[in-house]
Chains A and B, each alone.
Chain A
Amino acid sequence: MIGEIILIAILVSAACAIPGVFLVLRKMALMSDAISHAVLPGIVIGFLMTRSLSSPLLFVGAVGTGLLTVILTESLVKTGLVKEDAAIGLVFPALFSIGVILVSRYTGNVHLDIDAVLLGELVFAPLDRISFLGYDIGPRTAWVMGIILLLNIGVLALFFKEMKIATFDPGLSKSLGFSPVLLQYILMISVSITTVGAFDAVGSILVVALMIAPATTAYLLTDDLKTMIILSVIIGIVSSVLGFLIAWALDASAAGAMASMCGVAFLLAFLFAPDRGLLSQIRRKHSQKLEFAVTMLTIHLSHHRSEKQCDLECHEQHLTEHINWDRHFASQVVRKAIGDGMISSSQGLLKLTQAGEQNVKTAMME
């Protein structure tokens, strides 16, 4: 059974990661938050009509309310009376509230309760099975998410070029005849369908984590769209499987643990990403500062070398006074300058080398 749960976790996170990449690139990440809240009334209405959580009508309802969110938000923005962020923030809480009220008033004793909406029930997902010709062919959620994953891959394969252009250059895309609006709606439909499918497993709120966190993590690691999609699928899968195992050990919410692991992955990338990570930013800034200081040192030495006080001015001890470096930084600079072959030092007296002279010349010329 654990195997089946892990399979579902993999399918859910892979299916979520794909539309997530485009949401992040198009700066619409919060639209997934809005849609994931707003599908609730659609699901509830579908459930109330069919009294079953596996009816396709739930998908229809949820995709309907998901699209309704987008349409309402856009028409609010179009009136010019509210800004886009406020429009999103007005629409989805209202729809979500309707959903919560419907749940708490009309679904009293049935399976659909608030916790299931928020958390999903990954652990129970394998219990809901489907059979074909009398043979058990596996958990329903796995099939549903598998189909949604294939759908997302299919849309991606069909419209990859168009999505790419529409994402990075909407103007060009329009002039080439692909309507960015149409592609946006395709994306929104895919987000809504994925959200409803994943809702069973991870709950309506944490879908956002699986869509946005892997994609932003991948965005810190690469500049290439294809690589970004593949990376975010991998990051999503790894964090959700790890998350599930942690939740299993702690006997806590699988969805919560999966989202937490997505957060850990993001944090790691944010700190340690090779080019854009915080550490490499700091290191780069430091080395730039040092390089500049070395150039300053060589210029300083070249200024003072023919003066009488040369012995005094060109001394490592003196730098703290003259250039206002602290002792530690000064010795760092001198060490780097010696390492770079710019200067030589004999008993603390610093002297420019050939390369150092050259460095001064180029620096002054510029």
Chain B
Amino acid sequence: MIFLADYTLKIVALGSALLGIVAGSLGTFAVLRKQSLLGDSISHAALPGIVLAFMITGSKSSLILLLGAAVAGWIGSYFILGIIRHSRISSDGAQGVILSVFFGIGLLLLTYIQSQPNAAQAGLDKYLFGQAAALLKEDLWITVIFGTVAIICMALFWKEFKLMTFDPIYGQSLGFSERATDLMITALIVIAIVTGLSTVGVILMSSMLIAPASAARQWTNKMGAMVVLSAFFGALGGVAGALLSSLIPNLPTGPAIVLCLTAIVILSLLLSPNRGILARSAQRYRNRFAFSLQKLLLDLYHLEENHTDGERAHSIKTISLIRSREGNIRIALQALESNNWATQTDEKLWTLTQDGRIQAEKLLNKGEENL
């Protein structure tokens, strides 16, 4: 907590936390609507807006530059939707064109004003990769205001957005316009992106939308919970990355935040209790083991049936003859024993118990019923 006493660090941490909350919660919609990369296109498309806003007003106030970014980002996304609607180019092609061309125009303008004699433009390129250390109180207020507006809009239209996200056709039949919803959600995503440009930069901003929401998706199936979790993850990754970048020299903020968020995503993918990779492989292992136990039980049962001379106990060697390559038989036999389905005779031979026989017959009957 000592380092939080530092004024700059306090601002940086607070700003990144706010940004994480805004981007994380709104990113939920982008991810669920399979528009994750729209954020990438919008944030690239915002660059010419920043430069043009500077060229027109001559001001370097964050508010004016970010308004320019918002307008350009929104125009870019409008173009993308227009291209998809009015031509046979699919959404990836439309995004690729708009993203690269807008970014190119932005770079053209940026390098053009950089080549001009007055040096007033210095510092505009912080919007490429972000610079949390340069955050001012003004930036914090911008994040708070933009973010509050966006989150209030989301809360107001929560039901409509949810409906149009999961079942747009039903929504349309109720009279909601898909186009209007598209434009509104896009506008909110534009706002979320714009709030992060000075911290994370245009190139990596999309990650702030995608990563927290993708991580949150692993832990819940409820949309409300997903938004809250995603906001939390966004804040966590944002603060961690921003602090790291302030503490370690030559560590740009945007990339640091992105890597922290990526770590959260990887952990979520691995550890989530229901869909997580570890949980699923454990489940798969348990299933396989249970199946191999059943199979062993049936094998013992068939061995008994075939030995009409009453020889009911068999050595591990005999059993393994009919069960080649099926894992460790000793462990499986011990598991059967602990279920009271098999027991070991004094001569170290294995035989079924009465319970085991009943169980095997149950399995066989079930198998026949299934046939």
A interface residue numbers (CB < 8 A to B) = 24, 27-30, 32-33, 37, 76, 79, 81-83, 85-86, 88-90, 93-94, 96-98, 100-101, 104-105, 108, 114, 118-119, 205-206, 208-209, 211-213, 215-216, 219-220, 247, 250-253, 255-260, 262-263, 266, 270, 276, 278, 281
Q: Is B277 an interface residue (CB 8 A)?
A: yes
Question: Which of B36, B105, B115, B262 interacts with A85 by CB under 8 Å?
Answer: B36
- Most chain B beta carbons < 10 A, residue from A82, A96, A251: A82
Q: If A30-B96, A89-B210, A257-B104 touch, does A252 touch B262 (CB 8 Å cutoff)?
A: no
Residues of B within 8 A of A89 (CB): 36-37, 39-40, 206-207, 210
Complex-state Cα separation, A309 to B148, whole angstroms: 66
- Cβ < 8 Å to A, chain B residues 260-288: 262, 265, 269, 275, 277
A-B contact pairs, 25 of them (CB 8 A): A24-B96, A30-B40, A33-B40, A81-B277, A86-B36, A86-B213, A89-B37, A90-B211, A93-B207, A93-B262, A94-B207, A97-B255, A101-B255, A104-B251, A216-B97, A247-B108, A250-B112, A250-B115, A252-B111, A253-B110, A255-B104, A256-B109, A260-B105, A270-B87, A278-B86
With contacts A89-B210, A98-B259, A213-B100 taken as known, whether A276 is within 8 angstroms of B204 at the C-beta atoms is: no
Q: Any chain A CB within 8 A of the CB of B177? A: no
Q: In the complex the two chains form, is A97's CB within 8 Å of B254's CB?
A: yes
**Can you add 7 more A-B contacts, CB < 8 Å, to A90-B214, A93-B207, A206-B103?**
A27-B90, A89-B210, A97-B207, A209-B101, A252-B115, A256-B106, A263-B104
The 8 closest A-B pairs by CB, nearest first: A259-B104, A263-B101, A256-B108, A97-B255, A256-B107, A209-B100, A212-B96, A29-B96
Given contacts A100-B252, A278-B86, contact A85 B35 (CB under 8 A): yes
B229 within 8 A of A: no
Tell me if A79 and B269 are in contact (CB < 8 A): yes
- What residues on A are CB-neighbors of B217 within 8 Å? 81-82
With both beta carbons as reference points, the residue of chain B lying nearest to A37 in the complex is identified as: B203
B89 within 8 A of A: yes
Q: Is the CB of A33 within 8 A of B99?
A: yes
Report yes or no: B218 in contact with A81, Cβ–Cβ below 8 A. Answer: yes
What CA separation (Å) do A32 and B204 show in the bound complex?
A: 16
Complex contact B210–A86 (CB within 8 A): yes
Q: B86 — which chain A residues lie within 8 A by C-beta?
A: 270, 278, 281
Contact (A93, B252) CB under 8 Å given A216-B89, A270-B87: no
Chain B residues, Cβ within 8 Å of A213 = 96-97, 100-101
Q: How far is the CA of A86 from the CA of B203 in the complex (A)?
A: 16
Main secondary structure of the interface of A (DSSP, over half): helix
Judging by beta carbons under 8 Å apart, are B262 and A94 in contact?
yes
Q: List the B side residues contacting A93 at CB < 8 Å.
A: 204, 206-207, 210-211, 258, 262
Check B58 for interface membership: any CB of A closer than 8 A: no
A262 to chain B, nearest CB (A): 6
Let me know if A206 and B104 touch, CB within 8 A.
Answer: yes
Asked whether B100 lies within 8 Å of A101 as measured between CB atoms, the reply is no
- Give the residue name and chain of the B residue nearest to A25 (CB): B93
B93 touches A219 (CB 8 A): yes
Cα–Cα distance between A205 and B265 once the two chains are bound (Å): 25
**Interface presence of B75 (CB below 8 A):** no
B159 within 8 A of A: no
Partner of A28, one of B92, B214, B254: B92
Q: Which chain A positions have C-beta within 8 A of B95? A: 29-30
A97 touches B128 (CB 8 A): no
- Are the C-beta atoms of A206 and B252 separated by less than 8 Å? no
Q: Once bound together, how far apart are the Cα atoms of A259 and B89, in whole Å?
A: 19
Q: Which of B225-276 contact A (CB under 8 A)?
A: 250-252, 254-256, 258-259, 262, 265, 269, 275
